[in-house]
Amino acid sequence: MWKGSDGVRLAGDTWGHPDGPLVVLLHGGGQTRHAWGGTGELLGKTGYFALAYDARGHGDSDWSPDGDYSQDALVRDLKCVVAALGGRRPVLVGASMGGGTSLVASGERHIDAHALILVDIVPYTEPAGVARIHTFMQQSPDGFGSLEEVADAISQYRPTQSRPRNLDGLSKNVRLCDDGRYRWHWDPQFLAGPIDLRTRHERFSACARDLTLPTLLVRGGSSDVVSEAGVREFLELCPHSKYVNVAEAGHMVAGDRNDVFGKAAVQFLSHNAPVASHTGSPVNLLGLGA
């Protein structure tokens, strides 16, 4: 547990040796730190010290006492976590909401990051895709009677992904309440009020334009949130960035194709935030070439 801003406690997991280069993994809205389990394990095995935490109002972290889930509050929490680890220069890896937090923290110089990986987030996001996410998150406010019902809801949102045979893993995305029903593992206040996509676009664009650190953008090939037009705009704003399109993946890129995403992330980090060997030379992780 780490203490974020406003006294909010943030629950997290770590992988790898604490002496390795720090990689902070930030999940998307409605997700939990467990979305990064496979990626964190891979990074830990390849010499990095990976950390993922539940954003405020999500998973096992505290809900905001005053319902503050603003972009600035999320950035302040990130600053607190990095400070708790000694203020080391981290690599920031953020998906969707977590990518927005990482982009603002880097672009506005709140965090002196070593490198940045943005997962299916750019300044311009498709309104229809964003609306579909919000519709999904707002459904069934009275909860679900079983994990089977939870799996049904997820399958309707992600029809191209196979339904898990073992539903125990879904318990990380919901909480069992006193009335015996399962509810999503986030504070309903997180969805209070509409997102001002125009204002967010302006802020994210300014941040992208001001990025100077090594940056990788990863898009899910079938994402309905980030389009190729949105990618082109980002690459114009941040021309030094690298871009990877992950085929057969939607908005939940790391979850849909964790194998492909993990290798792309490690290859990028091996060039831009390498793990030093005992002689001080960079290690060629996973045998990946340039």
What DSSP string describes 216-255?
Answer: EEEEETT-SSS-HHHHHHHHHHSTT-EEEEETT--S-HHH
Ramachandran region, residue 230 (left: φ > 0; alpha: ψ -120 to 50; beta: rest): alpha
- The answer to whether residues 159 and 216 belong to one domain is no
**Among residues 144, 167, 189, which one ends one of the domains?**
189
| SS3 assignment, position 46 | coil
- The answer to whether residues 43 and 162 belong to one domain is no
Radius of gyration, alpha carbons of the chain: 18
Contact 69, 20 (CB under 8 A): no
- The answer to whether residues 163 and 24 belong to one domain is no
Lowest mean pLDDT among 47-61, 155-169, 205-219, 251-265: 251-265
Task: Report the alpha-carbon distance of residue 66 to residue 45 in Å, rounded.
Answer: 39
Q: What is the mean pLDDT of residues 252-270?
A: 74
pLDDT score of 287: 33
Decide the pairing of beta strands 22-26 and 12-15.
unpaired
Put simply, whether the predicted model's pTM sits higher than 0.85 gets the answer yes
Task: Report the alpha-carbon distance of residue 251 to residue 147 in Å, rounded.
Answer: 23
C-alpha 146, offset from chain centre: 27
**Among residues 145, 165, 189, which one ends one of the domains?**
189
Q: Which residue matches tokens 């943030």?
A: 10
Q: What is the mean pLDDT of residues 225-238?
A: 95
- The answer to whether residues 106 and 233 belong to one domain is yes
| 279-289 pLDDT per residue, tens | 343 433 333 33
- The band of 11, judged by pLDDT with boundaries at 50, 70 and 90, is very high
Contact 252, 160 (CB under 8 A): no
- The answer to whether residues 115 and 217 belong to one domain is yes
pLDDT score of 62: 97
Residue 132 clears pLDDT 50, i.e. is over it: yes
Q: Looking at this protein, which amino acid is placed at residue 213?
A: L
Task: Report the alpha-carbon distance of residue 140 to residue 250 in Å, rounded.
Answer: 23
Question: What's the domain range around 163?
Answer: 133-189
- The answer to whether residues 143 and 88 belong to one domain is no
pLDDT score of 173: 81
Q: Which residue matches tokens 């790898």?
A: 16
Sign, CA dihedral 168-184-126-56, equals negative
pLDDT score of 251: 54
- The answer to whether residues 217 and 184 belong to one domain is no
pLDDT score of 139: 81
- The answer to whether residues 262 and 237 belong to one domain is yes
- The answer to whether residues 30 and 84 belong to one domain is yes
Contact 238, 209 (CB under 8 A): yes
pLDDT score of 136: 82
- The answer to whether residues 208 and 123 belong to one domain is yes
Average pLDDT, the chain: 87
Task: Report the alpha-carbon distance of residue 74 to residue 156 in Å, rounded.
Answer: 29
How many beta carbons lie within 10 A of that of residue 197, not counting itself?
15
| Top mean-pLDDT range of 92-106, 219-233, 264-278 | 92-106
**Among residues 159, 189, 219, which one ends one of the domains?**
189
pLDDT score of 4: 95
